[in-house]
Amino acid sequence: MQRLHARYPFLETARDAVATEAVDLATVVDQDRAVVDRARERVVAALEDGETGEPRRDTRVELLSYPVARVLVSMVEERVLVRKYARAEAATAYDRFTTDFENTTELKSVESTGLDLEALLAEFDLDGAVRETADGYRIDVGTYLPLAEDLWGDEWHLVNRALTDGEVPVDDDELLTLLREAIRSRIEDGLPFDVPDVIAAALEDEAAEIREVLADLELTQDIDTVVPDLFPPCMKALLDDIQKGEHLPHHSRFAITAFLTSIGMTTDEIVELYRVNSSFGEEMTRYQTDHIRGDSSPTEYSPPSCATMQSYGDCVNKDDLCERIPHPMAYYEERIDDADDDEIEDWREADREEQSASGD
Amino acid sequence: MEERTRAYLRGRFRDHYRRTEITPPPAANEREWGFIPWTEGPDTTMVRHRSLLELGDLSEFLVRKRPRHVYFSAGRFRDPGASSMSAKDWQSADLVFDLDADHLPSVTLGEDTYAEMLAKCKDALFRLLDFLEDDFGFEDLEVVFSGGRGYHVHVRDENVLHLDREHRREIVDYVRGIGLEYEHLVETETVAGLGRKTPTERRTLEIEGGWGKRTHAHLMAYVDGLLEMEEDAALERLQEFDGIGEGKAEATLNAARNNREQLAAGNVTVHTAVSQLAERFAERAVADDNAPIDEPVTTDTNRLIRLPGSLHGGSGLQTVRLERDELDAFDPLVDAVPDTFRGHEITVDVTDPGEVELGGDSFTVTDGDQSLPEYVAVFLMARGRAEKEKE
């Protein structure tokens, strides 16, 4: 059993095993170097290679390194790390369970270290929602949508699926990909969490090292730069319209506001940027912006994709870069990346200078 | 709207609520409630963030407040009366669809009459229900005439209540055919070449479900139409498509004649021209079959929706829950006229005259004071086209 848990540390039973195994996590991180080293390696490998590194032979070390790795991820407290880490753990699990499934069919028996499809489906409460058919599987649509939410590629969009009677047909490989997503989402769930001081103190060096790796990779640079010149043409056009005082339909207003929020603008700044126009309703803008940001609603909304922009007729003045990107955010990221640093003048900086000048 | 008109409508709305039993939505106490009172000016301030606990018994509340509009949330919350969305603690939400005549591409505003708009809306409703019942297999559906310009569908099947905004957007895109890629409707498999050594690709349109099935239905209807025509007419019809000349038209017609069965099975490799043709029917399927629902209503998991059974303050019509088998016969301009306003006449001062079609009758309403059936008078006053006569 321990080998199975070491191989798949995100399983419910693995969690129980940890609970009985590790008298308490504080003692482990304080005294068990092997576990801490392996935990650090898990996270660093996730960042650098999108994998979780070489597993240890000692199943105890291997198993306990997983909860400690989660502690490390929590201590660093960066969204990008959580995402990368969860993705790497899920990718590793995917490699392992696909191998296990192949072995299972070949040997017609499940070794104690292996996992079969049935068990994995049951682990994620998917046994009721997934049905085997002659040429693949059918998944309940309410289960499919959350599992497919982060998958790239038009083929995952529901509109391109042969949905019938509430079920989405998927082939064998697609089912495995969706299972990987179920794992990723479970791993991501609850991260980052509050780490008790006594544990954090013992892991400060490891956390610092991970922060360094992260800084070297320059992943944490949230786009927090507002350069309207580098906006995608669609957003430029919408912003122009607003500033000209045009009345925008709801979806257009949503698109530009969500975009501005995503590039790091605060509600105050957005209100300021919109204020140029006379028919501008500050109250409305504030409400909408807070709502999109998730301050006044349970969801933080992301700006619409190119496909959605197109379908609403908001996709205008397409240029070459537009052809290559699926999302207005991707456009802006690429433009920012390509621009020389001194070309980038943040609108807010310019504004601040202006303000301080007029105050003199 | 003059105060005497408001006072009249308030009073009559109260009379209506006194004599009408209203069935609240399921889990009514987990929902946020909101209403718009009869206040001065066009400005409508919504009183919201109320729980049913605060409102008290629903029927009693409606009689007491006789609101102009009343709503409940699609979302269910742990604390529905909390004043901010995050404090409400969202649990789940009905999946709601809104078809509004104002947003229908088929409606020409200013040209179509109210009745025509509503008829077009009902067509769209049937298309929407095809998706919801067949493709999504939903069973817990509540269809509602909004009392205004359209229809709402509330879906309460357990398996979708947890879906968040992004997931619901996928459902919207599905129903509207947004992001449809013909490439993904087609399955490609390699088969042994017929009479040749090299294997060949067979491309089959997905005909089991989804937009593939719809595309296929349009394609087959067209093909069967061709087969019934004289050769010349069929060739001409085919050449109406851009990019289909004489040669491709002949090839397609031959393929249709010789391989109809293959086509019926979804095989679009019978000829390259057929494959191109099929692709155009994906676009046509979207244009003809999509249901132009109002996206933000479906994706907003906190949305407030008009309460079925309540009166719509902008029309004086009733928001009506409809059984599936009543839909065909349902005529909103007759069946949503509240009984309270039937059977007597009142005098109003009409400021915006014109035709009014209501209660199964047509009225040519002129300028100035006149006696009209109360439901017509209420309709005109609610729409701001008449005032209650001066006492």
Looking up residue A38, the CATH number of its domain turns out to be: 1.20.930
B98 part of the active site = yes
pLDDT score for A352: 46
Do A272 and A176 belong together in one domain?
Answer: no
Q: Is residue A133 in a domain?
A: yes
Residue B43 CB neighbour total at 10 angstroms: 6
Do B79 and B38 belong together in one domain?
Answer: yes
Do A106 and A237 belong together in one domain?
Answer: no
Higher pLDDT among residues A2 and B240, named by residue: B240
User: Is the Cβ of B43 closer than 8 Å to some Cβ of chain A?
Assistant: no
Do B98 and B146 belong together in one domain?
Answer: yes
Q: Which residue has the tokens 């042994």?
A: B192
Q: Is A243 exposed, middle or buried (0-12, 13-18, 19+ CB in 10 A)?
A: middle
Q: Is residue A58 in a domain?
A: yes
User: Is the Cβ of B185 closer than 8 Å to some Cβ of chain A?
Assistant: yes
Q: Is residue A221 in a domain?
A: no
Question: Å from B265 to nearest chain A CA?
Answer: 15
Task: Give the separation between CA A245 and CA A279, rounded to whole angstroms.
Answer: 6
Residue B271 CB neighbour total at 10 angstroms: 19
Interchain CB distance below 8 Å, A155 and B137: no
Kindly state the average pLDDT of the residues A99-128: 77
pLDDT score for A296: 59
pLDDT score for A40: 95
User: How does pLDDT run across B246-289, given as a tens digit for each residue?
Assistant: 988 999 999 899 989 999 999 988 878 888 888 899 999 999 99
Interchain CB distance below 8 Å, A158 and B169: no
Question: Å from B342 to nearest chain A CA?
Answer: 38
- Residues of chain B in contact with residue A170, where contact means CB-CB under 8 angstroms, are none
Do B145 and B63 belong together in one domain?
Answer: yes
Task: Give the separation between CA A119 and CA A130, rounded to whole angstroms.
Answer: 13
Q: Choose one of A212, A243, A258: the last residue of a domain.
A: A212
User: Is the Cβ of A169 closer than 8 Å to some Cβ of chain B?
Assistant: yes
The answer to whether B85 and B78 have CB atoms below 8 angstroms apart is no
Q: Is residue A280 pLDDT above 70, yes or no?
A: no
> From the candidates A126, A144, A157, A160, which should be mutated to test the interface with B, based on the most B CB atoms within 10 A?
A160
Which of A149, A165, A307 lies closest to B178 in CB terms? A307
Kindly state the average pLDDT of the residues A65-82: 92
Do B138 and B40 belong together in one domain?
Answer: yes
Do A168 and A238 belong together in one domain?
Answer: no
Q: Is A315 annotated as a binding residue?
A: yes
Interchain CB distance below 8 Å, B174 and A169: no
Do A171 and A55 belong together in one domain?
Answer: yes
Do A140 and A253 belong together in one domain?
Answer: no
Question: Å from A305 to nearest chain B CA?
Answer: 10
User: Do the interacting molecules here have an ipTM over 0.85?
Assistant: yes
Task: Give the separation between CA A86 and CA B314, rounded to whole angstroms.
Answer: 52
Q: Which domain holds residue A244?
A: 228-358
Interchain CB distance below 8 Å, B165 and A295: no
> From the candidates A159, A251, A289, A292, which should be mutated to test the interface with B, based on the most B CB atoms within 10 A?
A159
Q: Choose one of A185, A212, A239: the last residue of a domain.
A: A212
B157 part of the active site = no
User: How does pLDDT run across B30-46, given as a tens digit for each residue?
Assistant: 999 999 999 876 656 88
B100 part of the active site = yes
Which of A162, A297, A308 lies closest to B209 in CB terms? A162
The answer to whether B146 and B260 have CB atoms below 8 angstroms apart is no
User: Is the Cβ of A161 closer than 8 Å to some Cβ of chain B?
Assistant: yes
Interchain CB distance below 8 Å, B170 and A167: no
User: Is the Cβ of B78 closer than 8 Å to some Cβ of chain A?
Assistant: no
* pLDDT band with cut points at 50, 70 and 90 for residue A355: very low
Domain count of the fold of chain B? 3
The enclosing domain of B36 has a CATH number of: 3.90.920.10
Do A198 and A253 belong together in one domain?
Answer: no
Question: Å from B381 to nearest chain A CA?
Answer: 28
Do A259 and A337 belong together in one domain?
Answer: yes
Q: Is A322 annotated as a binding residue?
A: yes
Q: Which domain holds residue B212?
A: 182-289
Do B282 and B228 belong together in one domain?
Answer: yes
Do A131 and A197 belong together in one domain?
Answer: yes
pTM for the whole structure: 0.80
Task: Give the separation between CA B133 and CA B3, rounded to whole angstroms.
Answer: 46
- Residue closest to A129 by CA, chosen among A105, A114, A146, A116: A146
pLDDT score for A333: 83
Angle at the Cα of A201 from the Cα atoms of A200 and A204, rounded to 5 degrees: 80
- Residues of chain A in contact with residue B173, where contact means CB-CB under 8 angstroms, are 157-159, 308, 311
